[in-house]
Structure 1
Amino acid sequence: MSLKSIIIFLSLTCLFIGCTNPKQGINQAENNCPSSPGSPPKFKVKNEGDFFEKLKTLNIEVSKNIITFQTQDYDFVFCNSDNTFITKRGTYQPEEKPAKNYEEAIEELNNPSYKIINWQDKTYQYRVILDPNPFPDFEVESEKVILELITPEAEKPQKHILYTLEQVKKQQAGIQLGVPEVTASVINNNQFYWSVSSEQGEGNGGIATIVNYDPQENSINLIQPSQIAQQQINDLKISNNTDTTFWLATQISGEGNPYLPGMGLISYNTKSKSLKSYHARNSKLVGMIPYKLTIEEDKIWVATGNGICQIKWQEIDQENSWKCWEFKLQAEIPSGGLEVYQSLLSSTSSTTINTDENNKIIEVLWWSPQDYEADKGRYEVVYNTPFSVTLDDKGAMNWKEIYDKEYKVHSWEAMVYWPGKDWLWNGNRFIRPFDGVSLNYFGGGPGGISSWKNPEKQRPEIYAIRGDLDLINLTKNSTNVKYYSGWVEDSLLDPYLTIVPTEKLTNIKPNPLKKFPKD
């Protein structure tokens, strides 16, 4: 048989029985991407804190051609082959078991466990503690935060003072020392780096610190930029180009509010000591609070409580260097439709959302209990025909009226203090990410566009917590907005979690808050 005949025969055989391209098979194997689950994972809500705890990335795993962002319940798997995410049930395994009870928690505070870092087949142990240690009887006041380091040849730890109570007071970062924690550990160019953050709230505070340890010289260097002294560092990564740059994921917290926006993603040039902050109000960062970072060649990945961004870190100031995906909750509209209420506590529905061929899925924004003594609550959902509300008891003020004449408005805060201050102007409407909602555990729960019409109720009359807003009128005494959301009974929906690319906006308009006097 001639070569031409053989080729024709093989081609016809492949046509009828199917053949696998050897090169294609190799590519599929190299892609290493998992298959998408048959149905998206459900998102069960027991309390409003679940929106933070379940969407907060705790670990990032990088393997060949895939990156996995792990939360306590979910894995978001990015496939390099097609630049898409797959959402799966979580595989995260914590390194340390959480305390089972109060006694175990106090014992860990009294005698924190050492963590380890390995370098050149040697093990180093480290921890940060309060000195003197106030636990468990709280009879002494701590005066210093100390790093204890046990080198491979040593039996006893070295002790290094990171900062003192006097320094914290001078930085106006607190009136007493909060419990410190090492939040990240990095080895870069044979140097160790640890980020240290402190508990915040109820007067507790500390100074954001990066500890540099040289194991060859057995020397410690402290890096404490004054601009970030009052921030909490969630994660630290280091890039090396012409200069060395620290990348920090930051936030702040307060009494009853463990998750509050801060400076966002920070780049700190160690040579020039210059610092830049990238947050949701001045960049394309998809959320308010970054938790975990990873660097993959020329890209830095930032996982927030509202989504994930991939950024070319050497060109971070160029808008087209950002690609972001955001978390979305969705649910099927029941065949009987959904009665929509204008507010969380409203007793009478305002309209009904019905299902048809083009309208089967609804976006779920939030869940809130109607009171704290029963499990019953409502979901806030997207509703494209806006409701309107006027808050006659809430208007706008400049920040100095709220605090004092010396207050300096931070770049991550709204231009003025108003009921929608936690919403972001995206060029078309005011939007609020998941991680832009203050939990406010000790103040009546998360709020937003709301008012206390019924003081005897446990919750205010909440109109919108995450619904998009159009600002109609704003004065010092009142606020009038349209909000693109409504409330439905929680028993009627079964939300599932997805992650989708952020949409590119057109017809960008100026922020209407610019019209309100700020001084």
Structure 2
Amino acid sequence: MRVASLLGLACLLGACARSAPNLVSGSPTATEPPANCPAPVSDLPTPSTSFYEADGSKATVNFVNANDRFDYRPRNIVSDSDTIKFQAREYDFVYCRANQSWTVQPGTLPAELARPESYQQASNPPLNRVEFQDQTYEYRALTRDDKVIFEVGKAQSSPPQQQVLYTLEEVKQAGVGVGLGSASATTPVVYNNQLWWAVTSQQGEGNAGIATLVNYDPKTQKLTLVKPKTLQIQQITDLAITGKPTAPTFWLGTMRSGEGNPSLSSLGLVAYRPGVQDPNQGSMTSYNVNNSPIVGAIPQKLKLEQDTLWVSTGNGVCALQWANPEVTQSWSCWRFTATAELPQSGLALFKSLTQKEPGTTTLQPDAGPVEVLWWMPLNLTEANPTGRYEIRYEPGFTATINTGISPLPEQAVRVPDTPAVYWPASDWHWNGERFVRSLDEVPVNYSGGGFRGVGPEPNFLQQNNWNAMRGDLDLLNANEQSIEVRYHSAWAEDVALKPRPTVIAQEPVANRQPNPLAVKATP
């Protein structure tokens, strides 16, 4: 595997937002938009919140899905000559081409894209449709009889053409799992007058699949498969294809999942170039939060527009000039986040999530809007618990964590371009100046006690007194027993703030420094 080496890594969270955030959109007082671009709105929907149950040793705990309040993952991209609309669960993030500005609008995501997949659909998914060359084609990927099968054919024709993609035995032989996860196919891509899909399987509890690219030529009705060896264990979120038919590049969003964690970061955006002799033995380049300006860890949806590849993540969007991805200037990125005005009475700050009394610091209303990073409930057993927001705060606070740094086992799954060490903030990544954590680097941990931050060791049946969930970190001291960090955030009562989603322009970090963990990983 080859990884990209970029000189000017973008500041993925905090380095370019230390003072008041550099807002691109979200304010209802913004200037008049160009014709055919939506105006900012004053009222946006309040995010809905869901719950899940986890059986503890003594009680059943109703964990609140805290990430629902910051679920900015685009499920769909809609574009026309004036705008590009990134449709998340409850909001549309709309880019205006005329002046390169953004607005956030009430969501218009179609209901069928918002619904989670049921178990029944997973075993017998409905046929999807695509219009191509004045014909309607139906397709689906499904798991049946220890096989993952792909079906495609003209609508109303019976039966559809079938192709076995891989079997349970192949999954076992590849060493990626002991069972087959339910399969799904990406939205089809038209390339060289043919249709392409990426098919992937759910992962967790021993279930897995083999990432497969599927090609269908309507003229010959032939199905061709590509199974990149370097991507076997990846889940493919979306697909785009660039280059000449004799030398194409497959752009793939990647992620992993596991028991209790349906969405884990992996290789980021991948450029796969099939081998000339064997398409399965090609070259692969990973563009991820550790080695490129990409604004989030998990690419969700891709959209190709001539020389530009739009890459959307749960943390924002990048417009990539795909011909030169190694060059920092080829990336233009914007971060999705939330901000809130300060109350006229001021905002009392807490150093940690469950601290009983606030400290002596109070933010005055003239300090401007604050960036809101996360929300956590104070009580895990209440149906509608009160909670606190984590906000970006300078100069931050210091904390000593009684878990130190240790080497990663050789068999451990590593995020690319990271030192082979474990430490309490392993979900944070180094941006050249600080350790930062994007919205899509916060695993839900359904089976592991819920969301985890930096702080004391968690107690499964009560809320942990986290120092930070997403605040930027400076590593001050570290050994095998403990670490000392400065975390650039604070907590505030949720009733005092009314966050609203917005978009912040992403700027490169100047004078990038080496990752301090790399020194710890050196024998």
TM more than 0.5? yes
Q: 1:141-183: CA deviations, max 9, x gaps?
A: xx21111233468422332110011111222221100000112
SS at match of 2:451: coil
- For 1:467, the equivalent position in structure 2 comes to 471
- For 2:105, the equivalent position in structure 1 comes to 88
- For 2:301, the equivalent position in structure 1 comes to 292
How far 1:476 moved relative to its partner? Answer: 1.3
Cα distance in 1 for partners of 2:289, 2:444 equals 19
- For 1:363, the equivalent position in structure 2 comes to 371
More deviation, 470-479/342-351:
342-351
* Equivalent residues of 1:44, 1:495 under 8 A apart: no
- For 2:9, the equivalent position in structure 1 comes to none
- For 1:380, the equivalent position in structure 2 comes to 390
Structure 2 unaligned blocks of 5 or more: 1-31, 51-63, 277-281
- For 2:436, the equivalent position in structure 1 comes to 431
SS at match of 2:323: helix
How far 1:518 moved relative to its partner? Answer: 4.7
More deviation, 52-61/39-48:
39-48
Cα distance in 1 for partners of 2:330, 2:460 equals 51
SS at match of 1:516: helix
Q: 1:303-349: CA deviations, max 9, x gaps?
A: 00101001100011111111100012111111222221111121122
More deviation, 50-59/216-225:
50-59
How far 1:512 moved relative to its partner? Answer: 1.1
User: Is residue 2:331 matched to residue 1:322?
Assistant: yes
- Among residues 184, 188, 194, which one is paired with 1:185 in the alignment? 188
More deviation, 337-346/490-499:
337-346
- For 2:90, the equivalent position in structure 1 comes to 73
SS at match of 1:386: strand
Q: Which amino acid aligns with 1:383?
A: Y
CA 1:43–1:158: 2 relative to 1, 3 Å:
closer
- For 1:24, the equivalent position in structure 2 comes to none
- Among residues 230, 233, 256, which one is paired with 1:230 in the alignment? 233
- For 2:75, the equivalent position in structure 1 comes to 58
SS at match of 2:406: coil
- For 2:212, the equivalent position in structure 1 comes to 209
Q: 1:383-421: CA deviations, max 9, x gaps?
A: 2122111112x1111111xxxx44474415554210111
Q: Which amino acid aligns with 2:252?
A: L
User: Is residue 2:348 matched to residue 1:345?
Assistant: no
- For 2:167, the equivalent position in structure 1 comes to 164
- C-alpha RMSD of matched pairs (Å): 2.4
- For 1:398, the equivalent position in structure 2 comes to 407
How far 1:116 moved relative to its partner? Answer: 1.9
- Among residues 443, 449, 454, which one is paired with 2:448 in the alignment? 443
CA 1:31–1:398: 2 relative to 1, 3 Å:
farther
- For 1:268, the equivalent position in structure 2 comes to 272
Q: Which amino acid aligns with 1:380?
A: E
- For 1:485, the equivalent position in structure 2 comes to 489
More deviation, 481-490/50-59:
50-59
Amino-acid identity (%): 39
SS at match of 2:225: strand
Cα distance in 2 for partners of 1:290, 1:509 equals 26
Would you tell me which structure has more helix in proportion to its own residues?
1
CA 1:212–1:81: 2 relative to 1, 3 Å:
same
Q: Which amino acid aligns with 2:400?
A: T
SS at match of 1:461: coil
Cα distance in 2 for partners of 1:279, 1:44 equals 30
Q: 1:280-312: CA deviations, max 9, x gaps?
A: 111000111110010111110100010100110
How far 1:50 moved relative to its partner? Answer: 3.5
Cα distance in 1 for partners of 2:35, 2:264 equals 38
CA 1:175–1:518: 2 relative to 1, 3 Å:
farther
Cα distance in 2 for partners of 1:230, 1:32 equals 43
* Equivalent residues of 2:66, 2:375 under 8 A apart: no
How far 1:107 moved relative to its partner? Answer: 3.6
More deviation, 263-272/368-377:
263-272
Higher alpha-carbon Rg: 1
Cα distance in 2 for partners of 1:71, 1:171 equals 35
User: Is residue 2:289 matched to residue 1:280?
Assistant: yes
- For 2:250, the equivalent position in structure 1 comes to 246
* Equivalent residues of 2:193, 2:217 under 8 A apart: yes
| TM-score, scaled relative to structure 2 | 0.85
- For 1:131, the equivalent position in structure 2 comes to 144
Structure 1 unaligned blocks of 5 or more: 1-27, 133-142
User: Is residue 2:210 matched to residue 1:197?
Assistant: no
